[in-house]
Chain A
Amino acid sequence: MTNKSLVSITDYSKEKILSILDKAAAFEANPNQKILDGKVIATLFFEPSTRTRLSFETAVNRLGGRVIGFSDAATSSSSKGETLKDTIIMVSNYADLIVMRHPIEGAARYASEVSRVPIINARDGANQHPTQTMLDLYSIKKTQGTLENLSITMVGDLKYGRTVHSLLMAMSHFNPTFNFIAPNELKMPDEYKMFCKSKGIKFTELNELNEEAISDTDILYMTRVQKERFTDLFEYEKVKNVYTLKNKLLENTKENLRILHPLPRVTEIDADVDDNPKAYYFTQAKNGVFARQAVICDLLGLV
């Protein structure tokens, strides 16, 4: 069975991305509408996630839709051994669209093949989380006025960080210059660097986050360096503070620079940065509601 779904950011062309971002801007201007009146949206969270689920449910509620679903697989019939296929077919009998998070990679792609209604992947394990990328893109476009020709610095865990990989793929349509700052253990994987080379995208790689490294940057995308990624905890102790962003580092950066972070943030952005006008991560999370409203209504053919 085929229908329109959003499983991976690469499902979207450049034109589609831009069109969704325009729709997101329209929802931001007018977030409370009755456009989903009479629609039922299922949020199936086979793995708990407060942030993403609340963002999706807010997006639906503000548009007058109803939400059904579960926020923990223990309360769903998958705990009784039901296959994902059966769960999805059942729920697609009830709902007009399904938002799902699942710990198993590829679960959303498979669901999109068996479902009668559109699926939005709200993350499948370590694989994809395309609405995060859409809200990142929306935040970039809103703060910079364009997505074209920007200098983007990515900091932290660039090896396992799914958000930076998806953002890299999506930004590849817009002639970016990338600057990757990570410890050797967490460097950007070769396949993404090869991808940049094949697309003629310029990038530099550094080990240290310092003033000089970010002097030309438009978007500073911070990610968390997770302790559990290190086999040698001594290495972790060495690097954990090297990637902490402090106000002092931002003094000589460009006026238009904005700091993004997929959140949750731990120690990688000092609390003193929060009041800096260049800090954008909380507004970025808020933008997620508008980006998700745009994706949902687009899949339902309502905008």
Chain B
Amino acid sequence: MEKELKVAALKNGTVIDHIPSEILFKVISILKLENVPNQVTFGYNLESQKLGRKAIIKVADRYFEQEEVNKIALLAPNAKINIIKDYVLVEKKTLVLPDEIIDTVKCMNPKCITNNEPMQTKFKTENKESGLFKCHYCERIINSEELVLK
């Protein structure tokens, strides 16, 4: 109970929990929360039995499409999405690594067209278990540790 109260309770909206603290701001950026009119609260360096330190984000009056939140799976595959309606947790969503990652990740290859032309990047998930991604353009394969957000 005490843990819940560290971040203000939410009447309606989405709680994204179990985010590793160090990537909180990347998650905010992926979901483009810098630009939303909604009330957003987040907790940082909260104690977590699983992660040691975790972060949590609460977005009021906003429900994300599965595709939108799946983008987080690139960085935080174990994050949990809780849907809150009238203070009650009505649904828990787990993340699924998307088959295609559009304009979220930068290609590591300096000779890739995406780094030389104003355009979107596109990666295809090559192997979900081992976290391998292939650039749709230069066809280089990178692993999840090499992912750099655009």
CB distance from A147 to the nearest CB of B (A): 24
Q: List the one stretch of A12-20, A67-75, A106-114, A136-144 in contact with chain B.
A: A106-114
A69–B117 Cα distance when bound, in Å, is 21
A110–B116 Cα distance when bound, in Å, is 11
When the two chains form their complex, are residues A104 and B111 in contact, meaning their CB atoms are under 8 A apart?
A: yes
A109–B140 Cα distance when bound, in Å, is 13
When the two chains form their complex, are residues B117 and A103 in contact, meaning their CB atoms are under 8 A apart?
A: no
Residue A127 interfacial (CB < 8 Å): yes
Which residues of A lie under 8 Å from residue B139 when comparing CB positions?
8, 105-106, 127-128
When the two chains form their complex, are residues A106 and B141 in contact, meaning their CB atoms are under 8 A apart?
A: no
Instruction: Give how many A residues have a beta carbon under 8 Å from the other chain's beta carbons.
Output: 17
When the two chains form their complex, are residues B109 and A83 in contact, meaning their CB atoms are under 8 A apart?
A: no
Q: List the one stretch of B2-10, B67-75, B82-90, B130-138 in contact with chain A.
A: B130-138
A54–B112 Cα distance when bound, in Å, is 27
Partner of B117, one of A84, A128, A191: A84
When the two chains form their complex, are residues B116 and A104 in contact, meaning their CB atoms are under 8 A apart?
A: yes
Known: A127-B138, A128-B139. A106 touches B118 (CB 8 A): no
Known: A8-B139, A128-B139, A191-B141. A105 touches B109 (CB 8 A): yes
Interface of B is mostly: loop
Which residues of A lie under 8 Å from residue B112 when comparing CB positions?
104-106
When the two chains form their complex, are residues B113 and A105 in contact, meaning their CB atoms are under 8 A apart?
A: yes
A104–B136 Cα distance when bound, in Å, is 14
When the two chains form their complex, are residues A105 and B111 in contact, meaning their CB atoms are under 8 A apart?
A: yes
Residue A126 interfacial (CB < 8 Å): yes
Residue A229 interfacial (CB < 8 Å): no
- The residue in chain B whose Cβ has the minimal distance to the Cβ of A111 is B113
Partner of A110, one of B109, B119, B141: B119
Per-position 1/0 for A1-27, Cβ under 8 A of B: 000000010000000000000000000
When the two chains form their complex, are residues A110 and B111 in contact, meaning their CB atoms are under 8 A apart?
A: no
A85–B120 Cα distance when bound, in Å, is 12
A103–B141 Cα distance when bound, in Å, is 19
- The residue in chain B whose Cβ has the minimal distance to the Cβ of A102 is B113
Which residues of B lie under 8 Å from residue A84 when comparing CB positions?
113, 117
CB distance from B117 to the nearest CB of A (A): 5
Residue B114 interfacial (CB < 8 Å): yes
Which residues of A lie under 8 Å from residue B118 when comparing CB positions?
83
Question: A residues bordering B, Cβ < 8 Å?
Answer: 8, 83-85, 103-107, 109-110, 124-128, 191
27 residue pairs of the A-B complex, CB under 8 angstroms, read A8-B139, A83-B117, A83-B118, A85-B119, A104-B113, A104-B117, A105-B109, A105-B111, A105-B112, A105-B113, A105-B138, A105-B140, A106-B112, A106-B113, A106-B114, A106-B136, A106-B137, A107-B113, A109-B113, A109-B136, A110-B113, A125-B138, A126-B111, A127-B138, A127-B139, A128-B139, A191-B141
